[in-house]
Amino acid sequence: MSSRSVSPVAAIRLTYGLLLRQLLTLGRVLALLAVGIGVALVALAIGLADDIDEPLEAAVGVIAGLGFVVVVPVVSLVFASAALGDAREDGTLVYLWLRPIDRWPVVVAAWLAALTVSLPVTIVPLAVGAGLSGGGAELVNATVLAAVVGVVSYSALFVLLGLLVKNAIVWGLGFVLIWEGVIATFASGVASLTIARYTRTIITAITEVDIELGGSSLTVGIVVPLVVAVAALVAASVRLRSMDIA
C-alpha cells in the first residue's frame, strides 16, 4: 500500500462533503420526513382525544411503538446504507482511493454525513409529536435523547451493512422488521441484542412509564448503543480496508 499522506481530519472533511452532497436529495428527504410527520399526526390525535384514561401512557406508546420501531431505524437505514453503498456502486470510492487517504476516515465521514441528515429528519417530527401528544417536557426530552442515541447506533450499523451486502435496504428492512420488531418482542431472551431495547429504556427511565423492553437503567440505555456504534465503525473500517474498490 502506498504511503497515506492526507491527515485524518482533512480526509474526513473531504469525504464528508462529497458524501453529504450525494445523500441530500430532495425526494429522499421529503419522503422520510413524511413518515415522521405521520407519527406526529397520530400523536396529535392522542393529545386531542378526551376519552383516554392515561394520556401519558398512550403518548409514550405511540412515540415508542411507531417512532422508535419505524421512523428512527428506517431513516437511519436509508441514509447510512447509502453513504458508502451508493458511493461504491457509482464509483465515488474509486475517486477517493486516488487520493492518499486511509480507510477509517472514510467510514467516519460516511457515518457523520448520514447523521447530519438523519438526526433532523427524525428528531424534529418526533419531538413535535411528543409535544403535541400532551406528554409534557419529560416525553419530549426522552424522545430527543432516545432518537439521538438510536440514530447514532443504527447509522453505524447500516454504514457497515452497506459495505457488506448489495441491496442493503432490503436486508436492513428485514433486520428492522424481523429482528428489531418481531423477534425482540416475542423472544425476550434476545431483546438485549436489539437497539430498540435501549431506546425504549431511555424513554421508560425518563418518563417512568413502563413499556415493553424498557427495563434497564438510563445509563445502560445510553452506553450500550454507543458501544455498538463504535464496534460497527471499527468493523466497517476493517471491511473497507479489505475490499477491492476498483
Are 154 and 76 in contact by the 8 Å Cβ rule? The answer is yes
Distance CA 103, CA 239 (A): 9
Q: Over its length of 246 residues, how does the chain's per-residue pLDDT go in tens digits?
A: 444 577 889 889 989 998 999 898 899 999 999 999 999 999 999 888 877 778 788 899 899 888 998 999 999 999 999 998 877 777 677 777 667 778 899 999 999 999 999 999 999 999 999 999 988 899 999 999 999 999 999 999 999 999 898 889 999 999 998 888 777 666 666 777 889 889 999 999 998 888 776 667 899 999 999 999 999 999 999 998 887 655
Supply the pLDDT for residue 65. 86
Work out the angle between the directed axes of helices 218-242 and 195-207 (0-180°, nearest 10).
Answer: 150
Supply the pLDDT for residue 85. 80
Burial 33-50 (b: 16+ CB within 10 A, else e): bebbbebbebbbebbeee
Please give the C-alpha separations between residue 115 and each of 132, 135, 148, 233, in angstroms, as whole numbers: 25, 26, 9, 13
Q: Where are the domains of the chain?
A: 8-242
Closest to 181 in 3D by CA, of 37, 70, 32, 40: 70
Please give the C-alpha separations between residue 51 and each of 44, 47, 135, in angstroms, as whole numbers: 14, 10, 15
Q: How far apart are the first and last CA of the chain?
A: 14
Please give the C-alpha separations between residue 76 and each of 112, 120, 122, 152, 182, in angstroms, as whole numbers: 12, 11, 9, 8, 19
Distance CA 78, CA 56 (A): 31
Supply the pLDDT for residue 53. 72
Supply the pLDDT for residue 86. 77
- The 10 Å Cβ neighbour count of residue 53 is 6
> 172: which residues sit within 8 A by CB, 6+ positions away?
77, 81, 158, 161
Supply the pLDDT for residue 134. 86
Supply the pLDDT for residue 104. 92
Alpha helices in 133-207 (DSSP H): 136-164, 168-174, 184-186, 195-207
Which cell numbers hold the place of 174? 428485514
